[in-house]
Structures are given as C-alpha cells and as structure tokens.
Amino acid sequence: MVNRSFTPATLSAVLHWLGGHLHRYAKWVAATWFLVIVLAFAAAGGALGFTGLFERLEAGDAPTVPGESRDGGDLLGRADPAQTSVLLLAEGLDLADPRLATTLEPARTRLDALPGVGLVTDPYFPPTTPSAFVSTDRTAIIVSVVLEAGLDGSAREASTDAVHAQLTALGTQLSGLGADRVTVGGVDQLVDEVNAQVQEDLRVGEAIALPISLLVMVIVFGGLLAAGLPIIGAIASIGGALATLLLFSLVIELEASVPSVVSVLGLGLCIDYGLLLVSRFREEVRRLHLEAPGERRRRPDQAVLRDALQHTLGTAGRTVLYSGVTVAISLSGLLFFHSTILRAVGAAGVSVVVLAVVVALTMVPALLALAGTRIVRPGITHWIPGLNRLARRLGDVAPEQGAFSRLATWVQRRPLTVFAGCLVALAGAAWPVLSIEMVTTGTSILPTSSDQRHLFDTMETSFPALNPAPIRVVGKDAQALTALAARVAPLEGVASVEPVQQIGEGDTAVSVFGVRTESDPRLGEAREVVDRIREVRGDVPGIYVTGESAVVRDFMNDIRSRAPWAIGVVALTTVVLLFLMTGSILIPVKALLMNTVSLGASFGVLVWVFQRGNLEGLLDFTSTGGIDQTVPALALAFAFGLSMDYEVFLLSRIKEARDALAAKGSENLNDDAVRQGLQHSGRIITSAALIVVIVFAGFVAGKLLLIKQIGVALAVAVAVDATIVRMLLVPATMTLLGEWNWWAPAPLRRLHERFGLREG
C-alpha cells in the first residue's frame, strides 16, 4: 500500500521542484511580478478609475467593542444623528470690539444662504447660547456651520467646500480685527489631515529605510546586485500590502494608522526573507561549485545554479515558510478580540505575511536565477579600501569558525552567569511596564503643529460647553436618571454632573446626563469613575453608561477577557510548530519564556519614553501621559511574531548542524550544534535585525504618534531579541540544559519521526 500522507520528504520535494521550475521560467515569473507590482501601486493610489486606499481610511476614533458603552452610544446616535459640521476658530480677539458683531452678521447671512447649510451659530446667534461659542478666557470664538442631514456624497462634499471657502474669507476679515490665529476645519478635515499624514509618513519611512537598508546589505553582500534583490522584494511587499489593504477597505472600515502598521511589517519581513535566501544561495553556489570535480577554476554552470537554487529553497526556503507560519500565528491572535482595528490589523497582517512568503519563495528565487553567477562575484566593496575588510568581517557567508562561534564558546564556559546577567538586565528594562497607563490617542495622533489638532484641542480646553462630557448616562426613563444623577454627584472623582435633558423626538427620544471627572478623562482615574457609576446604578435595565471614558473601559475589559484565549492559542500552536521543527518539548517552552522576558523589556522602554515623556525632543512628540490603548496588543502580536522569526532562523541552523553532526557520530552534539548554528546564522540574524530596526526607525521619524509608539516598541524588541536573547540567552540556556534540550516523550518522538518538519 502506498503511503500518501504528507511527510517532510514531500515538503522537501515540493520546494526542490519549485526551485527547479523557478530557475527554468525565471523571466516569466519576474515579468509577472513586475506587472503585479505596477498594478498594485496603481490600484492603491486610485489610478485605475476607482477610489484609492487612502481616500477610504477612517478617522482614528476610540475603538469600540460590543458592550454597554456601544449600546448606549447607539441609543444616543439614533436620538441625535451626527451631522457634518465645519468650524472656524478665531483666537486673540477683543470681544468688546463692536466691529466683531458687524462682521459676523453678514457672514452668517452668506453662510446660511449656501445650499445644504442647516444651521449657522456664532457668539451672537442664536441669542440663547452665546456663551458656548466664546472661550473661557474670552479671547477666542467659534463659528459653527452644520449641514443638513441626508445630503448625498457629492452634495455634501460641494456644500462642505463652499462653507470652507466662506469661513476662510471670514477668517481673513477676523485677522484684520486682530485675530492672531484663525483655523477652519472639522471632522472631515481632520480625517483628510490624518490620511495625508499617513501617506507622508509612509513616504518618509520608505525614504529613510530603503536607502540605509540597501547600504547595510551592500556591506553584507559586498555588492549592489545581491543587496538589491531583497530591496526589490521589499518594494513588492509595499505595493502588495497597499493593494491588500485596499481590498480589505471594501468590506471593513480601516483606521488611518493601519496601512503604516501593516506595511512596515511586510517591508521588514521581505527584507529579512530576501536576505536569508540570497545569503543561502551564495553559500550553496560556492559549495556546489567547489564540490564539482575538475571545475574549481571555471564559472558555475547552469546545472550548479539550478541545484543551488533548489537546495536554497529546500533549506532557507523551508525556514522562510516556517517563519511565515509563526508570524501569521502570532498575528492571528488579534482576531480573538472584538475591536475592529485589532481584527483589521490581524486579518490584513496575516495576508501581508502570506504575501511576504510568496514574494520570498517565487520572486526572489526568480531574480536569483536571472542574476546567475553575477550574484557571487566580488562587488563594489571589493575595490573600496576599508569596506573590503568590513565586508569580509560582516559578510553573509560565514566561515566555519568566527566571531559568533567564539561568542558561543565564551557563553558556554559561563552559562549560569550569562543567564542570570541577561535576566537581571531585561527585568530592569521591563520594570517601568508595571506603571503602564492606557489612554485614547484621539487627535493627539497628529503632531502639535497640526491645525486640526489645534482646533479640537482648543475646543476641548477652552470651549467646554461644546464638548460632550466624557461620561454620559443615557436611558428612556428621565425620572430614574434624575435619581441616579443625585447618587452619582458625590462619588469620588466626579467633578460635576450635568442636568438631565431629553434628546430627540418620538420613539427614538432618550434622556441623558453628563458626568465630568476631576482627572483627565483619558486616564485610568476617569475609568474608575465609570466603574463607580455602574456600581451605584446596579442592574437597572435600560440605563447605559457610555462616553469616551466608558468606551475605553469596555475596550480594556475586552482585552483582558479575550487575551487569555488569544495568548493560549498562539502559544499552543507555536509550541506545536517548533516541536514539529525540532522534535523537542523544552525548546518551544523555553522560546516562549524568553520571548516573554524580552517583550517585557520592550514595553518597559515604551512606557519610559512615551508615558513618562523621555526623549520627547529627540523623537519629536508630546507625551499624552500614557500609551495608546491599541498599542500593547498590536506591539505584542508583531514583536512576538518577529521574535519567533529569529528563533526559527537560529533553531533551523542549530537543528541542521545537529543532524549533520549526528550522522558523523559526534559525541558533544548539543554544544557543537549550538556553536555551529550560531556561527552560520549569527551574521544573518544580526544583519536582518539591524535592517528591521532601521525600517522601524524610519517610520518613527514620521509624525503620527501611534506609529511612533509601535515603531519604538518593535525596534527595541527586535534589537533586544537579536542581541541579548539570540546571542546570549539561547546559547546559555541550551548549554545549561544540554541534551535535555532535545527531550520529548516517546509517543511524541514517534510523532515527530513521522510528521516532523525536517530535511527529507
């Protein structure tokens, strides 16, 4: 009977078959990818006749999850549907100047006459609410223009443009009356500015990351050709990521920060995978060429190049496949949460990881086949004094003995000391995470120089009557709400309680009162007030506590309740994958524990920088007193995936060395395998990590605060993982455990013999 089950030999055969066909049809594969890249960028930019990605992005409001705050918000939304408003903020005015009223009155008439305008309000009209549109220090005013409800897209856009033009003209008049700053905007303009900043940050990040990454790879590979192939793959990943996000935007709402977050992942992974494949291909070409009898002085022929490409995909390609699966598993943990942004990043991230793997396993090998023998020839650094020596020291093809094997030997002589020292250092870096504070970023996602951020921040601080209370209690029973308001007023942390008022008419009408807190509504003290209000309310049906603080509270509760499931599934599947790869139970568990410690250090640095406000000048940001509530989950998923990426890189070479040593009858399998594995992978891991840190640093140079926070967290995580963890902790722990590293119960050993992921 023929065994048709999938085995390691089947996987190896498939990858070798793929390498042979990619070598044969390299021109067609490369041409197809070129066409795909052009179409992807064109589609994302809106050049194919339909709306592009960046026009489809939504504003970065506080993410909601199913629960009381969303239900209450929906109730309010049905009673008082949101309408488009365009606002003018004029600061530095003398409100006693009689010319102010005579300037505003005709402007109000002109605005009111515009098509689609529903209501125009300023400090002089209507006379019942003048104080709401005057700042608390009586030096600034707001003019508000609300559009009619029910306008279709084109009519709404035309009305908004006409109102914006009239308000801009009014602003010029007010500047003549002494206004030192005039800002025109609104929610639509805020969204436009965020989307424009996303595009600008992507351009800035790519402009920094790609050239510096190319320079690093020129040094690593010793030439432009070999260095350029991973960069071409990275460009393909950017185009593919944007096109993938465009498809997602057709079915779900995407927040403005999602493209930057997902694109930077695809960029980093493609460079990582391209670096690994190009390096292994050069190694295999040299090995096979030297092994060919009587052909040592001739150029490698096409048979050697084909065999090298096949063996590259069978080894490094297999590692790329395992790595992609581990990163995808990590990102899939985001799908367990109810938050739309987390699910969107999770789903889009998994898709981009798949794309990065496909690029690495098809496009990059095809380019390697086209490059042929030129990929191993001495490059530009061979002729530049100084760079020649540096390229030899840092080059991609490692000698049998070198800096990393010596480092492993040094660690193996004092494993306990190294292990303890690393843990102390990582624990110290992680210490600040104990005081982490979650906040909603809101308009602070934009830099302080942003006009739209200035408009909304000024409204929040100087026009309190125009801002809804951060906590709102809504229900149908006005009498019950009045009684509850009396019990809420004396609660700790409550600054004031607004009178109960009715909103809406008919069946959708509701009653609501607002609660303002003594502390910043974005911080934890305000969320504790939400808990106290819900506690004094009890289980009374039909009364909902909603508002900004309540939304954040429910979001955090969802994270806490769903996190065990997400972490558990990701950890279990990662353990299974690493077991299938290594045949060990202890190695996967050890990898999870070490990743946890290194991630703690990354989060500690994140808190020290952004929550405590260190390095504000260097990184060009203003601290909000906490970390954006979406960052920990996103950074954890991304950083864990990248950490496992390098774990797979290292373990694959250690396992490969162990199998080869076992075949030779080596007596000290574990320690020798660790030294050889670190020696052969250390250069690639450190080079790949350096490039990924550069990529993240490029995006930190942008203006969006959320992207800065994620960029710093991931850059620190990768740097720590590639140095302290991979270079020191892994060899130290594997030395301490010895042959126990490779232990597994007998049934699992038999399972690994049948289904283990290894060279067939």
* CA–CA distance, 87 with 168 (Å, rounded to integer): 10
pLDDT at 293 over 90: no
**By C-alpha distance, which of 707, 694, 620, 642 is closest to 207?**
694
Average pLDDT over residues 719-743: 91
Each residue's pLDDT tens digit, 127-155: 666 578 999 999 999 999 999 987 887 88
For residue 27, name the pLDDT band (cuts at 50, 70, 90).
very high
pLDDT score at 275: 86
**Selected residue with higher pLDDT from 649 and 399:** 649
For residue 2, name the pLDDT band (cuts at 50, 70, 90).
very low
For residue 1, name the pLDDT band (cuts at 50, 70, 90).
very low
Average pLDDT over residues 303-312: 88
pLDDT score at 707: 86
pLDDT score at 284: 86
Q: Any residues with CB less than 8 A from the CB of 441 and at least 6 apart, and which?
A: 60, 624, 628, 705, 706
- Cβ count near 245 (within 10 Å): 23
Average pLDDT over residues 12-35: 91
C-beta separation of 368 from 645 below 8 A: no
Strands (E), 564-654: 627-628
Over pLDDT 70: what percentage of the chain?
92
* CA–CA distance, 332 with 643 (Å, rounded to integer): 15
Average pLDDT over residues 293-304: 62
- DSSP SS3 for 77: helix
Q: Any residues with CB less than 8 A from the CB of 430 and at least 6 apart, and which?
A: 597, 600, 601, 603, 604
pLDDT at 314 over 70: yes
pLDDT score at 390: 56
Residue type, 172: T
pLDDT score at 294: 53
| Lowest-confidence region among 312-321, 528-537, 608-617 | 312-321
Average pLDDT over residues 106-125: 92
pLDDT at 455 over 70: yes
**By C-alpha distance, which of 417, 423, 408 is closest to 653?**
408
- DSSP SS3 for 58: strand
- Cβ count near 27 (within 10 Å): 11
SS (H, E, C) 252-281: CCCECCHHHHHHHHHHHHHHHHHHHHHHHH
What domains does the chain contain, in order, with CATH numbers?
10-52+222-397 (1.20.1640), 68-190 (3.30.70.100), 398-432+568-760 (1.20.1640), 464-554 (3.30.70)
pLDDT score at 384: 60
Structure tokens at 522: 């974005």
pLDDT at 180 over 90: yes
pLDDT score at 129: 60
| Lowest-confidence region among 140-144, 276-280, 290-294, 621-625 | 290-294
C-beta separation of 492 from 532 below 8 A: yes
pLDDT score at 193: 87
Average pLDDT over residues 199-228: 80
Average pLDDT over residues 201-226: 80
Average pLDDT over residues 611-637: 90
Q: What average pLDDT is seen over the chain?
A: 86
Residue type, 193: E
For residue 66, name the pLDDT band (cuts at 50, 70, 90).
confident
Q: Report the chain's C-alpha Rg in angstroms.
A: 30
pLDDT at 302 over 50: yes
* CA–CA distance, 606 with 696 (Å, rounded to integer): 14
Each residue's pLDDT tens digit, 387-417: 556 555 555 555 667 788 899 999 999 999 9
* CA–CA distance, 272 with 645 (Å, rounded to integer): 9
The pTM of the full predicted model, rounded to 2 decimals, is: 0.84
